[in-house]
């Protein structure tokens, strides 16, 4: 009976172990029997959150896992390197016109394949390795650290932000912020001292402005009344003018007709005068003879006047022949 219980306990432990191994193989995504190869990624920056067993993804597709993480320090250059060994599941990577197994990743690296560390969760702090093409990032290899085919590493966007923040002159910014706060505090004190007088001045200005606005409103109202009266007068004048024009239109037509008749008569008189003063008209001949006689008489009088001026006695004695 006791032996049967021990046998059942042994079977239960064996079954639990089998289930545990199956769960690890299933949920851990270990490809024990798959075609996999090992590669190296050498980091120089922090790999915080990266641990053995972390996934290696290419644009969200898991293509490998982290096998080991070590630290290498070069005493000559005082530079620390962190080589990370990863295994790539060839069953998850299908390349058209596939190259030989040893050249697939090498050719992808030549085309710009790079590795970076990204944080999976800000809560747990876990990180993973992400692969993608970025030909703009130079490929730095470390043959003295690893003999495996190396996938060049690049700095992640988050790490770049951290580096930029680290390079910021935080002390200088803090001093400037303190100086600004001090200036603001001094300005606040001045405002507290000068604010009552400023408020009084503003109140006085507001009162004066209100008085001016009231006067302007009264003036506008008065002007509006005068404008209304003026417009009424203009309207009455226009209406009266229209009536006068209507009443006087007949008289205007009569005057225009009389003016036209007068112009016709004047034109006829001018024609008569033109005919009387023609070159061959008798009246014109008589007028010319009369004008000649008048001219001769005028010349004689002018000569006599000149003689009288020289000898006034001629008025008494007359001219001697």
Q: What is the mean pLDDT of residues 206-226?
A: 84
Q: Assign residue 53 a region: left if phi > 0, alpha if psi is -120 to 50, beta otherwise? A: left
CA-wise closest residue to 134 among 160, 104, 109, 112: 112
Q: Reduced to 3 states, what is the DSSP secondary structure of residue 64? A: strand
Asked if residue 76 has pLDDT above 70, the reply is yes
Q: What is the pLDDT of residues 156-207, one digit of tens each?
A: 766 667 656 666 676 777 788 888 888 888 887 777 777 777 778 778 888 8
Q: How far apart are CA 90 and CA 34, in angstroms?
A: 8
* Structure-block tokens of residue 257: 């007709």
> What pLDDT shows up at residue 55?
93
CA-wise closest residue to 50 among 91, 101, 92, 84: 84
Q: How far apart are CA 85 and CA 9, in angstroms?
A: 40
Q: Reduced to 3 states, what is the DSSP secondary structure of residue 297? A: helix
* Structure-block tokens of residue 130: 């992400």
Q: Calculate the average pLDDT of the chain.
A: 76
Lowest-confidence range among 112-121, 125-134, 152-161, 183-192?
152-161
* Letter string b/e over residues 81-102, b meaning 16 or more CB atoms within 10 A of that residue's CB: bbbbbbbbbbeebeeeeeeeee
Asked if residue 220 has pLDDT above 60, the reply is yes
> What pLDDT shows up at residue 27?
46
Highest mean pLDDT among 4-18, 54-68, 87-101: 54-68
C-alpha distances (whole Å) from 94 to each of 99, 114, 133, 138, 235 are 11, 18, 16, 26, 97
Q: What is the mean pLDDT of residues 247-257?
A: 68
Question: Is 81:63 a contact under the CB 8 Å cutoff?
Answer: no
> What pLDDT shows up at residue 66?
94
CA-wise closest residue to 30 among 82, 106, 85, 92: 92
Lowest-confidence range among 13-22, 23-32, 115-124, 136-145?
23-32
Question: Is 119:157 a contact under the CB 8 Å cutoff?
Answer: no
Question: Quick count: other Cβ atoms within 10 Å of Cβ 134?
Answer: 13
Q: How far apart are CA 117 and CA 175, in angstroms?
A: 35
Asked if residue 40 has pLDDT above 80, the reply is yes
* Structure-block tokens of residue 221: 């109202």
Asked if residue 136 has pLDDT above 80, the reply is yes
What is the pTM (predicted TM-score) of this model? Answer: 0.43
> What pLDDT shows up at residue 33?
43
Asked if residue 307 has pLDDT above 50, the reply is yes
Q: How far apart are CA 102 and CA 230, in angstroms?
A: 105
| Residue whose pair of structure tokens reads 């990204």 in the numeric block | 118
Band the pLDDT of 19: cuts 50, 70, 90: low
Q: How far apart are CA 107 and CA 97, in angstroms?
A: 12
- Cβ-based neighbours of 70, under 8 Å, separated by 6 or more: 82, 83
CA-wise closest residue to 44 among 81, 86, 97: 81
């Amino acid at each position: 009976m006791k032996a049967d219980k021990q046998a059942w306990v042994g079977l239960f432990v064996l079954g639990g172990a089998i289930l545990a191994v199956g769960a690890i193989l299933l949920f851990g995504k270990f490809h024990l029997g798959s075609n996999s190869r090992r590669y190296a990624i050498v980091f120089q920056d922090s790999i915080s959150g990266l641990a053995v067993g972390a996934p290696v993804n290419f644009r969200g597709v898991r293509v490998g896992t982290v096998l080991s993480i070590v630290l290498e320090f070069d005493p000559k250059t005082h530079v620390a390197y962190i080589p990370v060994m990863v295994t790539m599941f060839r069953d998850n990577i299908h390349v058209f016109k596939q190259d030989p197994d040893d050249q697939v990743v090498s050719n992808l690296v030549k085309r710009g394949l790079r590795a970076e560390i990204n944080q999976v969760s800000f809560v747990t702090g876990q990180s993973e390795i992400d692969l993608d093409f970025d030909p703009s990032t130079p490929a730095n290899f470390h043959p003295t650290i690893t003999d495996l085919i190396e996938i060049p590493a690049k700095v992640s966007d988050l790490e770049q932000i951290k580096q930029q923040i680290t390079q910021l002159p935080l002390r200088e910014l803090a001093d400037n912020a303190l100086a600004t706060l001090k200036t603001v505090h001094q300005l606040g004190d001045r405002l507290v001292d000068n604010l009552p007088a400023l408020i009084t001045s503003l109140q006085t200005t507001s009162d004066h402005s209100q008085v001016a606005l009231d006067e302007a409103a009264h003036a506008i109202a008065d002007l509006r009344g005068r404008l209304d009266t003026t417009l009424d007068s203009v309207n009455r004048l226009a209406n009266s003018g229209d009536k006068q024009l209507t009443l006087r239109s007949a008289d205007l037509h009569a005057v225009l007709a009389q003016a036209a008749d007068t112009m016709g008569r004047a034109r006829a008189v001018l024609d008569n005068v033109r005919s009387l003063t023609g070159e061959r008209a008798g009246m014109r001949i008589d007028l010319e003879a009369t004008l000649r006689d008048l001219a001769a008489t005028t010349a004689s009088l002018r000569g006599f006047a000149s003689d009288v001026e020289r000898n006034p006695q001629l008025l008494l004695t007359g001219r001697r022949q």
